[in-house]
Amino acid sequence: MLERYYLEYLRKRQREISDDYMSSQSGLWYPTIYPDRCDGCAGKEVPKCVEFCEKKVFEVRDGKAVVVRPQNCVYGCIACEFVCPRKAIAFPQRIASLPRVKMEDKGLLHRVKCVKCGKIFLTNRDTNICMDCEKAH
């Protein structure tokens, strides 16, 4: 009974991802199935992921689930990952689809130890003296 409510919840969350959100994303997004882990949900007529996915991303081949329509996968949806009892489904890291930014372009703070007082401070300047020690001079 609880499983049925959970599956309904996952389907609802899958539908909530709007077309606007999907179209604003770039990059590929689809599941990977580890064949050594997938047993086709042994004992079931159809694997749970095949039965669950309304986008028809999966099919059964040689008794195991296979990704056959990766382009149908909803960007950001990982619902089928939780449906798999053998943890055979994985998705790319969401951060991997973001463009890489060089460290020097970020303007981030870096940790520095003050040569005068020994205090550790954060700065985006090229200095090794904290502001307290700078003010003292």
**Domain ranges across the chain:** 2-93, 103-136
| pTM more than 0.85 | no
Task: Determine the pLDDT at residue 56.
Answer: 94
User: What percent of the chain is predicted at pLDDT more than 70?
Assistant: 68
Task: Determine the pLDDT at residue 45.
Answer: 92
- Choose among 88, 86, 73, 84: nearest CA to 35: 88
pLDDT tens string 53-74? 999 999 999 999 999 999 999 8
* Fold designation for 2-93: Alpha-Beta Plaits (3.30.70)
Greatest Cα pair distance in the chain: 79
CA dihedral 86, 91, 94, 95 (to 10 degrees): 100
Q: How confident is the model over 80-84, as a mean pLDDT?
A: 92
- CA 128 vs CA 47, 118, 135: distances in Å: 60, 10, 14
